[in-house]
Structure 1
Amino acid sequence: MGGSIAGCAFASAAARAGADEVVVLERTRGRLADRGLGLCIHDERAAELAATGALPGGIATHRLTRRRWVVREAGEPAGRVFWEQPFPFHSYHWGLLWQGLRQATPAAVAYRQGAVVTGVSGAGGRAEVRLAAGTAESFDLVVGADGYRSVVREAVCPESRPTYAGYVCWRGNFDARRLESLGDGGWPPESVTTVCFAGGSCVVYRIPGPDGPRVNWVLYATPPQAGRLPYDDPTSFPPGRVTEELTAHLGTLLDREFPPYWAGVIGLTEAEDTFVQPIYDLESARTTAGRLLLAGDAATVVRPHNTSGAAKALQDATAFEDAWRRAGTWDALLHAYRTARGAAGREMVALARRLGRGQVEQTPAWATMNHREAETWWQGQLGGATGIGGQPMTP
């Protein structure tokens, strides 16, 4: 269930492992590739995933090497860089990544769009899927790759629901050629910039696009009058539906907190390319039940600070394929998958919570920090983790 990144990856994994029949049920009818969001995958995770076949070759990427942390400072149009760290990632355009995964899905896989699932059950040695059209279909196994509002998770562990973290992110992207109107801001193409301010931060980097490089940005902060907006129920405000209140607050943050150059960069984004995403956490109490299995965001919702979402979904698919090849029964497959991915998901959620506290909820006095103090602060956020971007998979 679900035909985006996790769904395509799991369908390909099952087909490679020898499944007789694989069906993908995707609720949307339009082109998923039209989603223009940016994302990053750590170079080491990408190499591991390419070696297993989970990450196909030939997908457009943009190389990133350094991350610069800046604060607003008088007389410095682009702000003051108070810290710089290695950032061994490649950025992707969501739509182009999905397109590459979709094209790599074996032809034997039945990919059905417009298939809205209203419920599932997985008891009695089979799994049943109920469709909005009024029909029901039976399978040996149902993989819930249907995102943070997962219907499959409702059947596996209905007590596990996304929890609002108390803040949102504004997201946007635009054609990188528009940067020419701002002049040279001293921004190397391989650099990620994090603009820091009291109560929030904003990450800006380049991504590939269908028509050339684009600029992608994600700004985290507490929204105005949060109680008026329906954040307790998982939701988002897509392009064209961002409220006037949220739009005005973004403008206030740019005017009050950003160095002029970076405020100008964000200001190049068209309204139709800007949306708001409330931030949620989720740790599923279980990742399997009967003949049902959870994957990607259906299993764990990790705040984006960890830069691990796409890698985690592809790692889930890799673990699933490995479990399939080793197991002799469905029960053994499900047990092996639970063992491989349960703890990894919980650890990523915990790390992203620490990053969210440090970069939004309880921000430090960034303006007075030097390099050494910033490094100490960063290690405190990691809390013993080796870094962001997800963990290596256990061989």
Structure 2
Amino acid sequence: MRGGGSVAVIGGSIAGCAFAAAAVRAGAREVVVLERTLGRLQDRGLGLCVHDERAAELSATGALPAEIPAHRLVRRRWVVRDGADAGGRVIWEQPFPFHSYHWGLLWRGLRDGMPASVAYRQGEAVTAVVRSGDRAEVRLDSGAVERYDLAVGADGYRSVVRRTVCPASRPRYAGYVCWRGNLDARGAAALDPSAGGWDDAVTTVCFPGGSCVVYRIPGPDGPRVNWVLYAAPPRGALRLDDPASDPTSFPAGRLGPEMAVHLAALLAREFPPYWAAVLSLTKPQDTFVQPIYDLETPRTTSGRLLLGGDAATVVRPHNTSGAAKALQDASAFESAWRGAGSWEGLSQGYEEARGPAGRELVALARRLGRAQVERTPAWAEMDERDVESWWREQLGGAPGIGGQSMEPTGGNSFE
């Protein structure tokens, strides 16, 4: 599409940075990022993984800079508690061709790689985005109104832009939460060197009613251990199933005594001693609770408005595809822009490429969540063949987790 144009990107985290850079590469005349947070986004210490094939594709499009620190993973071990082994008994090991990232370092790399022409404005809270003829009207908390040729909603699962594009679509609580944390990898290594040997592995600790993944990530000051534990919260401790309430995350260091006691009891009762000890090393300020939601939208565009990342679809983390999907959305946006002759053509091309893909990811992650948390099997009674068969059943024909390939399909072209 020729003629440039002005683009407002609502949200300045991973998806927002990727969309802003993609818009510049595609030929936008003006790109503005509006990020409501004034704090340091790079301080977010979460871990995430990107499939090696997705990373290669994203590097080729320019969406994932190669210099961002990453830790190589090659296998995934499924472990159950066994009194004979402090590290538990491995019931299955599968290939896991991923690299892990530190959220803050990934964001910093994307932010630093953003073209200088992008105006990145922090502390700009957007209260509404509406269609206004052939323009997108952005209303700010300050009372100011700005108009652009296109507004991209990259503002997460509470998206302001989605309220206009898909007003009936709201995140739905899955019935469980994840406790998340990270710690200095040296502390885990010092606990019991004989239980180590998992530098290149994701370990999934399996227990009735939940599971927990543990893996290494790069950190600002050296390697860290990242963990994500999925289970139902104590009855009555949280109010998350009220459709009138907004989704809520409980920040690090603010778990509350009931949630902290519940987590400690779960580790003592269900985890192999080594892994319970590893998670127990996590400092309160590095531990928080994230309710699990999912959401699919009937469309990702409406006139001069477009949705990307979690604003378009909220996928449960079991699929290990969140960051890759956000970057793929941005790459598809760039490709649709280059191949379109009008704003309408851009919207149509983007919807065809990313609408069905997002909905498929939501469906797969729901199946994985039910199998790994809501309706867990008798893990301790299963052998390698049982677990592999169970895993394939959950995939439901999907080739694996980590997101889909961006190979050309139909009339779509990912250049």
TM category, shorter: over 0.9
Cα distance in structure 2, aligned partners of 1:31 and 1:169 = 24
One of 180, 196, 206 as aligned partner of 2:206: 196
- The within-5 A match list for 1:13-32 is 13-32=22-41
Cα distance in structure 2, aligned partners of 1:33 and 1:17 = 27
Cα distance in structure 2, aligned partners of 1:239 and 1:186 = 27
Q: Tell me if 1:52 matches 2:61.
A: yes
Q: Tell me if 1:208 matches 2:221.
A: no
One of 221, 224, 233 as aligned partner of 1:223: 233
1:303-323 per-position Cα deviation (integer Å, ceiling 9, x unaligned): 000000000000000000000
- The within-5 A match list for 1:121-200 is 121-184=130-193, 185-200=195-210
Give the match for residue 10 of structure 1: 19
> What secondary structure does 2:158 align onto?
coil
Give the match for residue 123 of structure 2: 114
Give the match for residue 413 of structure 2: none
Identity %: 72
Cα distance in structure 1, aligned partners of 2:254 and 2:131 = 37
> What secondary structure does 2:310 align onto?
helix
Deviation at 1:226, TM superposition (A): 4.2
Give the match for residue 394 of structure 1: 407
Would the alpha carbon gap of residues 138 and 322 (structure 1) be closer, same or farther in structure 2, given more than 3 Å must change? same
> What secondary structure does 2:155 align onto?
coil
Q: Give, as a single letter, the amino acid of the residue that structure 2 aligns with 1:371.
A: E
Give the match for residue 344 of structure 1: 357
1:63-111 per-position Cα deviation (integer Å, ceiling 9, x unaligned): 0001000000112100000100000000000000000000110000000
> What secondary structure does 1:336 align onto?
helix
Give the match for residue 268 of structure 2: 255
> What secondary structure does 1:168 align onto?
strand
Cα distance in structure 1, aligned partners of 2:236 and 2:95 = 35
Q: Tell me if 1:367 matches 2:380.
A: yes
Q: Give, as a single letter, the amino acid of the residue that structure 1 aligns with 2:314.
A: V
- The within-5 A match list for 1:44-123 is 44-123=53-132
Give the match for residue 310 of structure 1: 323
Cα distance in structure 2, aligned partners of 1:92 and 1:226 = 34
Deviation at 1:123, TM superposition (A): 3.6
> What secondary structure does 1:148 align onto?
helix
Q: Give, as a single letter, the amino acid of the residue that structure 1 aligns with 2:130.
A: S
> What secondary structure does 2:39 align onto?
coil
Give the match for residue 5 of structure 2: none
1:176-231 per-position Cα deviation (integer Å, ceiling 9, x unaligned): 11124312113320011000000000000000000110000000000011474245
Preserved contact between residue 126 and residue 140 of structure 2 (Cα < 8 Å): yes
Q: Give, as a single letter, the amino acid of the residue that structure 2 aligns with 1:118.
A: T
Cα distance in structure 2, aligned partners of 1:118 and 1:243 = 31
- The within-5 A match list for 1:292-303 is 292-303=305-316
Q: Give, as a single letter, the amino acid of the residue that structure 2 aligns with 1:58.
A: E
RMSD (Å) for aligned C-alpha atoms: 0.9
Unaligned runs of 5+ in 2: 1-9, 409-415
Would the alpha carbon gap of residues 107 and 328 (structure 1) be closer, same or farther in structure 2, given more than 3 Å must change? same
Cα distance in structure 2, aligned partners of 1:94 and 1:180 = 23
Give the match for residue 4 of structure 2: none
Give the match for residue 412 of structure 2: none
Q: Give, as a single letter, the amino acid of the residue that structure 2 aligns with 1:191.
A: A
Preserved contact between residue 18 and residue 330 of structure 2 (Cα < 8 Å): yes
Cα distance in structure 2, aligned partners of 1:188 and 1:373 = 23
Preserved contact between residue 102 and residue 219 of structure 2 (Cα < 8 Å): yes
Cα distance in structure 2, aligned partners of 1:186 and 1:292 = 49
Q: Give, as a single letter, the amino acid of the residue that structure 2 aligns with 1:271.
A: P
Q: Tell me if 1:274 matches 2:274.
A: no
Q: Give, as a single letter, the amino acid of the residue that structure 2 aligns with 1:267.
A: S
How many residues get paired? 395
1:213-254 per-position Cα deviation (integer Å, ceiling 9, x unaligned): 000000000001147424543110011221211111101110
Preserved contact between residue 173 and residue 240 of structure 2 (Cα < 8 Å): no
1:333-366 per-position Cα deviation (integer Å, ceiling 9, x unaligned): 0000000000000000000000001000000011
> What secondary structure does 1:286 align onto?
coil
1:93-144 per-position Cα deviation (integer Å, ceiling 9, x unaligned): 0000000000110000000000000111024110000001111000000000
Q: Give, as a single letter, the amino acid of the residue that structure 2 aligns with 1:190.
A: D
Q: Give, as a single letter, the amino acid of the residue that structure 2 aligns with 1:361.
A: E
Give the match for residue 384 of structure 1: 397
Cα distance in structure 2, aligned partners of 1:105 and 1:196 = 41
Q: Give, as a single letter, the amino acid of the residue that structure 1 aligns with 2:134.
A: G
Preserved contact between residue 21 and residue 114 of structure 2 (Cα < 8 Å): yes
Cα distance in structure 2, aligned partners of 1:130 and 1:228 = 33
Q: Give, as a single letter, the amino acid of the residue that structure 2 aligns with 1:187.
A: G
> What secondary structure does 1:283 align onto?
coil
1:8-33 per-position Cα deviation (integer Å, ceiling 9, x unaligned): 00000000011000000000011100
Q: Give, as a single letter, the amino acid of the residue that structure 2 aligns with 1:263.
A: A
